[in-house]
Amino acid sequence: MMVLSAAPKASIKLNRHCQRLFGCVTRPSRQLRSLQMFLTPFAACKPLRDLAASEVLSHGLSGAHYPAVWRFSVIALYYQLTVSTDPYPVKLHYDKSHDQVWLLSWGDMEKNFPTLQVINQASGRVSHHTVHTQPVGRRFDRVEDFFIPASSLIANHVRFGLILHKNEPVLHKINLETTSYVKNISLWEYNCIPSSVAYTHLGGYYFINCKADSTGATQPQVILDSVTDSVIGQNRDITGTPYVSPDGRYLVTVDDGDGLMRIQRVSERGEIQEPFDIHTNLHLSDLAFQRSFTEVHQYNVFGSSGRQTDVLFVELSSGKVKMIKSLKEATKSFDWPWSNKNRVMVGSGLFGQYLVTPSRESVFILDGRLNKLNCEIMDVLKGNVVVWVGDS
């Protein structure tokens, strides 16, 4: 695991014996074991200053980026290097299918000059550099965000991604192999400016969350067929940020405005079921899925709160709800301008047991098997960027 922090130092640093990492944490209730786990404020020897965000690059390769100094640092188990980027890099995504890192930069704090870049052969020991997506470049790109479906045991190769442009009711389909645009998919008929996307291989559906209009009204999610690139229609009255479980069988939507978590099952034939609702006042910041240790082929979901100190646990098969208490205060939203997720929740992979969520000055490890707090790692300031590498 790697946690990127703005603290000048942390109580635990990277060392060559990664399995020793959690022997140093405070109040452990259970020993964690992993051959590839990292905690760092940047490699053990180089303190962090002001980081934005980061996601896993996989194959033992992890990354951090510095918005103000325009570079992306690659941290591996045995070596470290730096890759120059466009100004203010704010989002990374590792596409395992093509061994690529996709990088979104803002250009400045006001997002006036956004660009999208790609790093090829990301896990290889080669001279890494960025290339701009084609045919757009730093002068014409209006990119606001991008979405690349995660590979899984069932859908292990991803051919296309989607790019979201600022204030445009359009999705831009992109070929991940050539990094070039394929076509535009209009959402104009549904008055939908996309803000976030989720995908299930069951039926091949994209679920698109629409931004609120000038009056504050929100449109229901739009469902897109990934094979025909045609809009099927709206997802009932479901509004909010969509998340899909790794097996594609559950669509979980968080509507913070109404304080709702809405859960829908997706059948093997791609039939989207009626939702069942869970009301919460936690102001959920992020969700992570965890396979069930009591039921075969089932998942649970953990939700972090951006304002409170509790974690929401939901057993998806039954709707059973539990609160995990005694976490600490999250980083304030105004102290985390890089995204609207001021407290992330990150799982440890398809077969992992543990999850990570930060507070303002520490990081908490949750036990997904026992559904409770496992331990706290102290003195990690604003550690809101977490990367798991390997299995826990």
Strands 354-358 and 362-367: antiparallel
pLDDT at 363 over 50: yes
Torsion sign over Cα 245, 117, 136, 87: positive
| 88-96 mean pLDDT | 83
What is the mean pLDDT of the segment spanning 302-321? 96
Place of tokens 């701009």: 132
Q: Which pairing describes strands 130-132 and 115-119: parallel, antiparallel, or unpaired?
A: antiparallel
Rounded Cα–Cα distance for residues 267 and 248 (Å): 9
Q: Which residue's entry shows tokens 């069988």? A: 249
Asked if residue 228 is part of any domain, the answer here is no
DSSP three-state, residue 211: coil
Q: Which of 140, 158, 186 is the last residue of a domain?
A: 186
The answer to whether residue 210 sits within a structural domain is no
Is a pLDDT exceeding 50 seen at residue 4? no
Mean of pLDDT values over 273-280: 96
Mean pLDDT score across all residues of the chain = 79
How many angstroms from the chain centroid is the CA of residue 354? Answer: 16
Write the DSSP string, 335-352.
G-TT-S-SS--EE--TT-
Rounded Cα distance, 392 and 32, in Å:
7
Collapsing DSSP to helix, strand or coil, 364 comes out as: strand
> Does some domain include residue 117?
yes
pLDDT exceeds cutoff 60 at 145: yes
Q: 180 with 74, same domain?
A: yes
The answer to whether residue 26 scores a pLDDT higher than 90 is: no
pLDDT at 68: 52
Long-range contacts for 260-268 (Cβ within 8 Å, ≥24 apart)? 261/303, 261/312, 261/314, 262/238, 263/314, 263/316, 263/319, 264/235, 264/238, 266/200, 266/202, 266/203, 266/205, 267/202, 268/202
Residue 53, domain member (yes or no): no
Domain contains 177: yes
Residue 231 domain-assigned (yes or no): no
- Contact partners, residue 150, CB within 8 Å, separation at least 6: 158, 246
DSSP sequence for 240-295: SEEEE-TTS-EEEEEETTTTEEEEEEB-TT-PBPPPEEEE--S-EEEEEEEE-SSS
Q: How confident is the model at residue 173 (pLDDT cuts 50, 70, 90)?
A: very high
What's the pLDDT at 81? Answer: 67
Instruction: Please indicate, yes or no, if residue 343 is contained in any of the structural domains.
Output: yes
pLDDT at 11 over 80: no
Separation CA 151–CA 366 (nearest Å): 24
Mean pLDDT, residues 57-83 taken together: 49
B/e letters for 282-305, b = 16+ CB within 10 Å, e = fewer, are: bbbbbbbbbbeeeeeebbbbbbbb
As a whole-number percent, the residues of the chain with pLDDT over 90 amount to 50
Kindly report, residue by residue over 213-246, the tens digit of the pLDDT. Answer: 888 888 999 999 999 999 999 999 999 999 999 9
**Cβ contact 6:357 at 8 Å:** no
Phi, psi dihedral angles at 246 (to 5 degrees): -55, -30
Q: What is the pTM of this model?
A: 0.81
67 versus 20: which is more confidently predicted? Answer: 67
Residue 10's pLDDT band (cuts 50, 70, 90): very low
Q: Which of 186, 216, 233 is the last residue of a domain?
A: 186
Whether residue 168 is contained in a domain is answered as yes
Q: Can you name the residues that pair with 2 across neighbouring β-strands?
A: 387
pLDDT the model gives residue 264 = 98
Beta carbons of 231 and 222 less than 8 angstroms apart? yes
Residues 380 and 41 sit within 8 Å (Cβ to Cβ): yes
pLDDT band at 301 (very low <50, low <70, confident <90, very high): very high
Contact in structure between 121 and 99 (CB atoms under 8 Å) = yes
Q: What is the mean pLDDT of residues 109-135?
A: 84
Domain C-terminal end among 143, 165, 186: 186
pLDDT at 58 over 80: no
- Domain extent for 170: 69-186
Span 367-376, pLDDT tens digits: 999 999 999 9
Least confident stretch, 178-182, 218-222, 383-387: 383-387
Quote the CA–CA distance of 279 and 288 in Å, as a whole number.
18
The tally of domains found in the chain comes to: 2
pLDDT value, residue 101: 85
- Say which residues have a Cβ less than 8 Å from residue 271's Cβ, sequence separation at least 6: 203
pLDDT of residue 243: 98
Give 35 or 110, the one with higher predicted confidence. 110
